[in-house]
Structure 1
Amino acid sequence: MSQTIVVKIGTSSLTQPETGSLALSTIATLVETLSRLRHQGHRVVLVSSGAVGVGCARLGLTERPRSITLKQAVAAVGQGRLIRVYDDLFSVLQQPIAQVLLTRGDLVQRSSYINVEQTFQELLQLGVIPIVNENDTVAVDELKFGDNDTLSALVASLVKADWLFLLTDVDRLYSADPRSNPDAIPISVVHRLNDLKELQVQIGDRGSTWGTGGMMTKISAAHIATGAGVRTVITDGRTTQNIEKILQGEAIGTQFEPQPRPANARKRWIAHGLVPMGKLFLDEGAVQAIRYAGKSLLAAGIIRVEGEFESQDAIALCDRSGEEFARGIVNYRTVELEKIQGHQSDEIEQILGYSCPETIVHRDNLALMYEA
């Protein structure tokens, strides 16, 4: 059966740890694996890090740049080299590829989100393997994905993928870092992300010397992807043949079970395409009404407002403890909500002095992030 598969490979898997130069044998094996999957009828997307690392090696830099302008310049050098290597290797196997460079801004506007989605669908129907990276050369801090784990999860949601493979420098998720803790327990299946708390999983936030990610970003990516109905796997990036074995049912790596996929494409865009400009903290009644009864958000349920936003901006909806459980498009500005929070809907016009919508976030403009 044909499936849509997104594969993300990190800088630590693509490059030599000592020098930052490309690990060509790993890339060649990855190319062979993805080409076989494509020839079996699967739709395949590759999200590839490595542009900055390759640029550093090309320019003789011994450490990753810290300033955003230098990083952008180095990425511009490295991206061309990286895509040429991919094109040369895929061409040997007669597999066409396409370069897709994205910024978060491409997904924030509904019209551009739909355009990106349609471009991916056209490429996949043509039998092309899109190779995706963040457009580091032009991205600004507030519209950056931050890491390619997050980018790959958003792409997996966008293309309605069946699988997301996060290839990294460990073979699976452990209860602690196996490189420093010999008692670390391997974890094969995660049914819900809350299970990790019960298993007392210790997640470090440091990536490799050349990469930006770490296990924390992979867990965050699993949140996004599984919430969009995508089965997510963390596994070793140096043995890419394992992708095929996992697809055939072998218990390799760590699998995160998918949650029910949101049927509405607009809801997926709200949940995963938009960048929240602020947060609303809600009482238990409002959380229950939104999460389990599909209700709109009313002013009475708001206990705190955080951030500076305008009407029609995206905002995060959080429970009393601060955990985000939904995201929506708000009908009010910050200054207005600070005046009407906790009040009944029929009091709003009197407080503000003008007529306003009854709902703070209408249920049609609201999406749950993932299963609690």
Structure 2
Amino acid sequence: MISDTTNKRVVVKIGSTSLTSQHGQISRRKLEKLVDEVVRLKDNGHEVLLVSSGAVAAGYRKLGFLQRPTALIEKQAAASIGQGLLMEAYSELFLSHGYVASQILITRDDFSAEDRYNNVRNTINILLERGIVPIINENDTVAINQLKFGDNDTLSAKVAGLVDADMLIILSDIDGLYDADPRKHPHAKRFERIYNITPDIEQAAGAAGSAIGTGGMKSKIDAFKIAIASGIPSFLGKASTPDILYDAVYQKAIGTYFEVTTSAMNLNLKKQWIAFNSGPRGEVIVDMRAKNTIMKKKGSLFLPHIQKVKGRFNHGEVVKITDSNDETIGLGVVNYSSEKLLELQNLPQAKLAAHQKPIVDSEQLVCQLHISVPINL
């Protein structure tokens, strides 16, 4: 429970349907409500980061389309118009309350390179220290499919982990997670608090329910898994509910709270980057002894247990670790290049003992078994 006297760092994600009218244009009324609630949290001493969808939805009519385009190049053109409209409106509204808003546009590639990942973190920290409200979105205008987060639900969870947020709030057009689709099943029950995302809960998550947005309930569940693995409690609620942000932070809102338990993985920043952002450069196949050590004892990986090396990678890059059945065991930062590993593998058995340095240290290894969300999502 968050106390009234504790200032928190809160990441708020809001979807396209919660920001636009039924015709796909920016809704001034919805924006004003959101900004007013963010300002209330700011006035109470909290730091707020906003992950805002809506650029494509806000821009496609200005581009001459009657419906949201589906072709990537058309969506990118619409985003180039809509992002400016969004930021203009945000800046004006926040300034009217005495706060400055900043824009941060990123792609998945910005997170996959560790130095750029840390640069984003440093930039956001400076902005927050200065009382600025960072408004974050995927750089839809330039991102290609291979470098996209996929949806802003995933992006918001990764941003929450990046900045060591105290809470992630996802605002949508539904007031929480239900055991069935409430639009089709009037007797569906809402989950008030979730302590473990089970397969049954995942099954209750439906597909995208909006023609304007891109994320559905499944993407939100994936986002909450990332947040929980990063040790961040989360909340899902309806954006149109009065005082939803304030009440969510103070544990009074109608919606679904996703709690972090003592059994959660609670990955540190380095392991978050390895698990969710790095993008493996190659692969090492290991024997069953190494697999058991990694999965059961969370140990390091040593040279004698590597059966095969695939791909080309340098020292310090992330590789995928698999078994002989092609089952993913985890991801880890290697202490040797692929060239050096192949060279060491050809050494006589008597000389292998001289190389005691782990191929992957346990501190820089994330095992798939230990977290509930697929690694490198």
**TM-score normalised to structure 2 length:** 0.83
Summarize the alignment of residues 61-76 of structure 1 with structure 2, pairs less than 5 Å apart. 61-76=65-80
CA contact (8 A) 1:331 1:357 kept: no
Q: Structure 1 residues 168 and 81, CA, compared in 2 at 3 Å: closer, same or farther?
A: same
Q: 1:242 aligns with which of 229, 235, 244?
A: 244
Correspondence for 1:256 among 255, 258, 262: 258
Q: Does 1:20 align with 2:19?
A: no
Structure 2 contact 291–323 (Cα < 8 Å) conserved: yes
What is the percent sequence identity of the aligned residues?
Answer: 37
**CA-CA distance at 1:317 after TM superposition:** 4.8
Q: Does 1:119 align with 2:128?
A: no
Aligned pairs for 1:36-185 (under 5 A) are: 36-185=40-189
Between the aligned partners of 1:122 and 1:365, the Cα distance in structure 2 is: 27
- Paired with 1:323 and 1:185, the residues of 2 have a C-alpha distance of 37
Task: Specify the alignment match of 1:310 in structure 2.
Answer: 313
Q: How many residues align?
A: 359
Once residues 164 and 51 of structure 1 are traced to their aligned partners in structure 2, the CA distance between those partners, rounded to angstroms, is: 21
Contact 2:61 2:67 in 1 (8 A): no
Counterpart for residue 10 of structure 1: 15
Over 3 Å counting, the alpha-carbon distance change for 1:163 and 1:318 in structure 2 is: farther
Task: Give the deviation of 1:225 after TM superposition.
Answer: 1.1
- What is the alpha-carbon distance in structure 2 between the residues aligned to residue 285 and residue 253 of structure 1? 45
Distance 2:165 2:355 in 1: 40
Which position in structure 1 is the counterpart of 2:224?
222
Q: State the distance in 1 between where 2:340 and 2:150 align.
A: 31
- Tell me what 1:343 maps to: none
Q: Secondary structure at the match of 2:58?
A: helix
**Distance in 2 separating the partners of 1:107 and 1:4:** 20
Contact kept, 8 Å, 2:171 with 2:239, in 1: the verdict is: yes
> In 1, Cα distance between the equivalents of 2:308 and 2:325?
11
Deviation per residue, 1:320-350 (Å, 9 max, x gap): 998867432346788999xx9xxxxx96646
Partner of 1:188 in structure 2?
A: 192
Cα RMSD (Å): 3.3
Question: What is the TM-score normalised by the length of structure 1?
Answer: 0.84
In 2: Cα distance, 1:101 partner to 1:280 partner: 34
| Distance in 2 (alpha carbons) for counterparts of 1:68 and 1:42 | 37
Separation in structure 1 between the aligned mates of residue 284 and residue 193 of structure 2, nearest angstrom: 33
In structure 2, list runs of 5 or more residues that go unmatched: 1-5, 373-377
AA aligned opposite 1:136: D
Tell me: CA distance 1:56–1:2, structure 2 relative to 1, closer, same or farther (3 Å). Answer: same
Structure 2 CA distance, aligned partners of 1:320 and 1:221?
A: 31
Segments of 5+ residues of structure 1 without an aligned counterpart are 341-345
Q: Distance in 1 between matches of 2:232 and 2:92?
A: 31
State the Cα distance separating 1:52 from its structure 2 match.
Answer: 0.5
Range with bigger deviation, 177-186 or 283-292: 283-292
Q: Letter of the 1:6 partner, please give it.
A: V
Relative distance call for 1:347 and 1:125 in structure 2 (3 A) is: closer
* Counterparts in 2 of 1:211 and 1:278: CA distance versus 1, 3 Å: farther
Q: 2 CA distance for matches of 1:335 and 1:32?
A: 57
Cα deviation for residue 255 of structure 1 reads: 1.3
How far is the alpha carbon of 1:153 from its aligned partner? Answer: 0.7
Kept in 1: contact 2:282–2:313 (CA 8 A): no
The letter of the residue matching 2:14 is I
2-structure distance, mates of 1:320, 1:198: 31
Counterpart code for 2:118? I
How far apart, in 2, do the equivalents of 1:229 and 1:140 lie?
30
CA shift at 1:358, angstroms?
Answer: 6.6
- In structure 2, the CA distance between the partners of 1:224 and 1:303, relative to structure 1 (3 Å rule), is farther
CA distance, structure 2, for counterparts of residue 204 and residue 323 of structure 1: 28
Does the C-alpha gap of structure 1 residues 102 and 332 become closer, same or farther in structure 2, counting only changes over 3 Å? same
1:279-358 alignment, distance < 5 Å: 286-298=290-302, 310-311=313-314, 312-317=316-321, 326-330=330-334, 349=347
Contact 1:349 1:356 in 2 (8 A): no
CA separation in 1, counterparts of 2:325 and 2:173?
34
Alpha-carbon spacing, 1:162–1:336, altered in 2? closer, same or farther (3 Å): same
Indicate whether 1:32 and 2:36 are aligned: yes
Specify whether residues 232 and 71 from structure 1 end up closer, same or farther in structure 2 by C-alpha distance, changes over 3 A only: same
2:204 counterpart SS class: coil
Do the aligned partners of residues 322 and 175 (structure 1) sit closer, same or farther apart at CA in structure 2, a change above 3 Å counting?
farther
1:365 shift after superposition: 2.5
Asked whether the 8 Å contact 1:174–1:201 carries over to 2, the reply is no
Residues 164 and 232 in structure 1, CA contact (< 8 A), matched pair in contact too: yes
Deviations 1:1-46 (A, max 9, x none): 11000000001111123x1112221211110000110111111000
Amino acid at match of 1:365: Q
Q: Once structures 1 and 2 are overlaid, which stretch shifts more, 45-54 or 254-263?
A: 254-263
